[in-house]
Amino acid sequence: MGKQDRAVRMSLQTLRTLESFLENPTDELSGADVQKRSGLASGTLYPILLRLESAGWFVSRWEAVDPASVGRPRRRLYRLTPTGLARASEVFASFGRGVLT
Amino acid sequence: MNNKWVDGFSRSLIQHAARTAPASLSERLEEEWSADFAERSGQLARLRFAVGCCWATRVIAHEYLEPKVVAATAAGPTTGSKVMSAFAQPDYSFLSRRTTAFVLIIGLHAVIIYGFATGLGHKVKDLISLPIDARVWDAPKRVDLPPELPPPPKLTRTIIEVPPTETKFEVDKSGLQEVVMAPPTESQGSGTAEPPPHLVNRVSGGPGKSFPNTDDYYPAPEIRMEHQGLVTVRVCTDDKGRLTAAPTLAETSGYPGLDQGALKLAQAGSGRYRAATEDGRPVSSCYPFRVRFQYKN
């Protein structure tokens, strides 16, 4: 999935996902973290995360831990890109939410 | 439900979902979902998470397929095989369409055979077939209006005020008091002294105090046509003032509607007649009385 800034269909679930990141745009969140904040089901959340990453709004990386030492798989961490932050802010501003600029 | 069994089943679902995702995402999704799965607490939450991952796989595979098809189509008309190969993605569902249809057909046959074997068909038929409810409704009675109804006298007048009637009843007072001679005895003519005649004081009956009001039985069509008249009705009552026979018309008013109204009034007054008396003792008797329907503007 290439990184490119293209139009993203804004559904209510997408807005809730973005809102989870806009609480602190510099945070890196795993899918489980976003799920806790947004309350979305996994079947809805992960396609949205991949969609936004594909659109260039998010970047993701693996957690820098050794799975053998921590005894669990690595988490995938997502973070808003500057482009994603700007686009998300525009979207929420158009709804009159007055979020980050 | 065994917790280990639920965990194992959920993990299997996640692995299955991740492995049926597009190949380039399969490993990533399996590790990512496994890590997030470990953070879930509660068997039900984990099971929901795993089922959600299965659904996510279908959505991701669908969205992953679209750009490939668009790119292959945009390459030109000579790349038909590329378009077809773009569609030729693995089936991400648990069962293929053919297998699903086959299973459905087998299941349907099994249900039908089971129905025949157990007589379930008859039970279903009895449940579906409702009892026939045949009701014969009586045709509404036709109300014959008076012939040749003249137009209302004043079209602008909307409220018809029924004027109060004056004297309603005129009891035939001729029989109010009678003197009845006692029958002659055998001793008459024998030269012995005749006993004095026995006088019977007879008072004729008539409508009592609580007799129905004539206005209530003044037929509306007759009021509209301003018909009025005097009807003589003959009734037979017992010593309680109750009718012993249906009232009969003794003298018509000339208007059938008024006559009928008077008969209805006489019938309705049963039990409210003043019984005739003989020497003050109520007795059964028949007597006429008159009902006057009088129209007043």
Q: Maximum distance among all alpha carbons in chain A?
A: 47
Q: Is there a domain that residue B277 lies in?
A: yes
Q: Is there a domain that residue B76 lies in?
A: yes
Contact B92, B55 (CB under 8 A): no
Reply yes or no on whether the pLDDT at B158 is more than 80: no
Q: Which domain holds residue A58?
A: 12-64+72-94
Q: Are B117 and B210 part of one and the same domain? A: no
**Which amino acid belongs to residue B194?**
E
Considering only alpha carbons, which residue of chain B is nearest residue A42? B52
* B52·A75 Cβ contact <8 A: no
Q: Are B120 and B17 part of one and the same domain? A: no
Reply yes or no on whether the pLDDT at B206 is more than 70: yes
Q: Is there a domain that residue B147 lies in?
A: no
Place of tokens 């190969």: B85
Q: Are B10 and B121 part of one and the same domain? A: no
Q: Is there a domain that residue B148 lies in?
A: no
Q: Is there a domain that residue B152 lies in?
A: no
> Please, what sign has the CA dihedral across residues A47, A52, A53, A58?
negative
What percent of chain A lies above the pLDDT cut of 70? 87
On chain B, the residues whose CB falls within 8 A of the CB of A74 are 31, 35
Q: Are B222 and B285 part of one and the same domain? A: yes
Q: Report the alpha-carbon distance of residue A43 to residue B56 in Å, rounded.
A: 4
pLDDT band at B192 (very low <50, low <70, confident <90, very high): low
Q: What is the ipTM of this complex?
A: 0.85
Q: Is there a domain that residue A2 lies in?
A: no
pLDDT band at B68 (very low <50, low <70, confident <90, very high): low
**Which amino acid belongs to residue B16?**
H
Buried b (16+ CB within 10 A) or exposed e, B58-96: bbbbeebeeebeeebeeeeeeeeebbeebeeeeebeeee
Residue finishing a domain among B92, B109, B137: B92
Q: Is there a domain that residue B204 lies in?
A: yes
Lowest mean pLDDT, pick from A16-25, B116-125, B179-188: B179-188
* B35·A45 Cβ contact <8 A: no
CATH number at residue B174: 3.30.1150
* B63·A41 Cβ contact <8 A: no
* B35·A76 Cβ contact <8 A: yes
Lowest mean pLDDT, pick from A93-97, B242-246, B289-293: A93-97
pLDDT of B94-150, one tens digit each? 567 788 899 999 999 998 888 888 877 677 777 777 667 777 777 777 777 667 777
User: Which residues of B lie closer than 8 Å to A, measured between beta carbons?
Assistant: 25, 28-29, 31-36, 38-40, 48-49, 51-56, 59-60, 63-64
Q: Are B32 and B116 part of one and the same domain? A: no
On chain B, the residues whose CB falls within 8 A of the CB of A41 are 48, 52
Q: Is there a domain that residue B253 lies in?
A: yes
Buried b (16+ CB within 10 A) or exposed e, B22-57: beebbeebbbbbbbbbebbeebeebbbbbbbbbbbb
Q: Is there a domain that residue B260 lies in?
A: yes
* B55·A51 Cβ contact <8 A: no
Q: Is there a domain that residue A42 lies in?
A: yes
Considering only alpha carbons, which residue of chain A is nearest residue B38? A72
CATH number at residue A47: 1.10.10.10
What percent of chain B lies above the pLDDT cut of 70? 70
Q: Is there a domain that residue A6 lies in?
A: no
Split into its structural domains, chain A has a count of 1
pLDDT of residue B266: 92
Burial of A7 per CB tally in 10 Å (0-12, 13-18, 19+): exposed
Q: Where are the beta strands (DSSP E) in chain B?
A: 169-171, 202-203, 206-207, 229-237, 248-251, 273-274, 276-278, 281-283, 285-293
Q: Is there a domain that residue A25 lies in?
A: yes
CA-to-CA dists, residue B216 to A22, B41, B196, B262, B297, angstroms: 85, 85, 50, 10, 17
Q: Is there a domain that residue A5 lies in?
A: no
Q: Are B38 and B84 part of one and the same domain? A: yes
Q: How many other C-beta atoms can be found within 10 angstroms of the C-beta atom of residue B293? A: 26
pLDDT of residue A2: 44
Considering only alpha carbons, which residue of chain A is nearest residue B28? A76
Q: Are B174 and B288 part of one and the same domain? A: yes
Lowest mean pLDDT, pick from A5-19, A44-58, B181-195: B181-195
Considering only alpha carbons, which residue of chain A is nearest residue B31? A73
Q: Which domain holds residue B49?
A: 3-92
Burial of A72 per CB tally in 10 Å (0-12, 13-18, 19+): middle
Q: Report the alpha-carbon distance of residue B58 to residue A43 in Å, rounded.
A: 9
On chain B, the residues whose CB falls within 8 A of the CB of A43 are 51-56, 59
Q: Considering only residues B142 and B87, tell me which one the structure prediction assigns the higher pLDDT.
A: B142
pLDDT band at A10 (very low <50, low <70, confident <90, very high): confident
Partner residue opposite B55 with nearest CB, options A31, A43, A74: A43
Q: Are B45 and B105 part of one and the same domain? A: no
Q: Report the alpha-carbon distance of residue B89 to residue B65 in Å, rounded.
A: 8
Q: Report the alpha-carbon distance of residue B282 to residue B137 in Å, rounded.
A: 48
On chain B, the residues whose CB falls within 8 A of the CB of A78 are none
Q: Are B175 and B272 part of one and the same domain? A: yes
* B59·A32 Cβ contact <8 A: no
In chain A, count H helices and then E strands: 5, 3
Q: How far is B105 from chain A (nearest CA, A)?
A: 30
Our CA angle for B168, B169, B175, nearest 5°, is 170
On chain B, the residues whose CB falls within 8 A of the CB of A35 are 36
Q: Are B83 and B66 part of one and the same domain? A: yes
Reply yes or no on whether the pLDDT at B250 is more than 70: yes
